[in-house]
């Protein structure tokens, strides 16, 4: 099973994050976006894709596997 994440850029430099179509986190500051998405299991390569899409269109979508997300969240925690 996987999870669909969609990130929308707001005018004020913040981002809204949706999980499977439901608002999950509102007004994430740009300086915290990479860390927040890492906590959700979105890898660096996927994050780079998200940033490119946000710059080009203002919206980006990625999918993560639930099992991978749990183990990756633990991995990202150890890297901080």
pTM (predicted TM-score): 0.78
Least confident stretch, 6-15, 52-61, 66-75: 66-75
Strands in 10-80 per DSSP E: 14-19, 22-29, 59-65
Q: Is the pLDDT of residue 80 over 70?
A: no
- If DSSP codes are grouped into helix, strand and coil, which group holds residue 43? coil
pLDDT band for 66, please (50, 70, 90 cuts). Answer: low
Q: Is the pLDDT of residue 79 over 80?
A: no
Closest CA to 50 of 66, 37, 64, 65: 37
Closest CA to 50 of 69, 25, 70, 30: 30
pLDDT tens-digit series, residues 19-58? 999 999 999 999 999 999 988 888 888 899 999 999 999 9
């Amino acid at each position: 099973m996987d999870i669909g994440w969609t990130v929308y850029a707001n005018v004020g430099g913040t981002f809204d994050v949706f999980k499977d179509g439901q608002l999950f986190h509102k007004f994430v500051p740009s300086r915290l976006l990479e860390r927040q998405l890492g906590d959700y299991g979105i890898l660096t390569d996927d994050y780079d894709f998200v940033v490119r899409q946000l710059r080009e269109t203002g919206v980006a979508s990625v999918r993560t596997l639930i099992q991978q997300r749990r183990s990756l969240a633990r991995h990202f925690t150890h890297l901080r």
